[in-house]
Amino acid sequence: MPSANQITTDMRKLFGRIADMLIPAYKQFPSATAVGVHEKLLDDVLAFRPDIVESFRRGLAGIDADALSRSINDLSRDDPEAFNALTLAASGGYYMAPEVHTVLGYPGQESVSYNPHEVADYLTNHMLERTMRRGPIYRPTPQS
């Protein structure tokens, strides 16, 4: 068995098949393997989340490649922790892919400057006007 940070080619192929079952191509969205979730993105996910490596590897070991759908269903019932590690690796890697960001229209994290002395737009654009007219509504808490 390879060390925790080594994923073999066969393991990657199997994970790719699982990921494509979970995230198939749909309309403008690419499939999981089309963006490489079983390649570098998998390495990135496991590097960011070393706490799931053992469960991920256990999940792959519990999959029968010849009965993929049944094996995935069995894994979700019998070892939810391993199933969650596989699905987290697939979805996490998928949403890290630049191609998926583009399709979603997500520009990525942006540095937004903040001036604490500037009046916030939401205070001057009348967005809160209705709420401010209504006044506070709450349930008083019991006195201790």
Q: What's the pLDDT tens digit per position in 44-65?
A: 999 999 999 999 999 999 999 9
Dihedral sign computed on CA atoms, order 53, 56, 62, 66: negative
Nearest alpha-carbon partner for 84 in 22, 13, 6, 31: 22
Q: 49 lies in which domain range?
A: 9-104
Is residue 41 a part of any domain in this protein?
yes
Contacts (Cβ under 8 Å, ≥6 apart) of 121: 127
Q: Which residue has the higher pLDDT, 123 or 77?
A: 77
In the chain, the number of structural domains is 1
Is residue 79 a part of any domain in this protein?
yes
pLDDT at 119: 86
pLDDT at 144: 66
Could you give the angle at which helices 53-61 and 9-22 cross, rounded to 10 degrees? Answer: 90
Is residue 142 a part of any domain in this protein?
no
Question: What is the tens place of the pLDDT at every residue in 66-111?
Answer: 999 999 999 999 999 999 999 999 999 999 999 999 999 998 888 8
Helix, strand, or coil (residue 35): helix
Helices (H) and strands (E) counted in the chain, each on its own, are 8, 0
Between the two ends of the chain, the Cα-to-Cα distance in Å is 59
Is residue 134 a part of any domain in this protein?
no
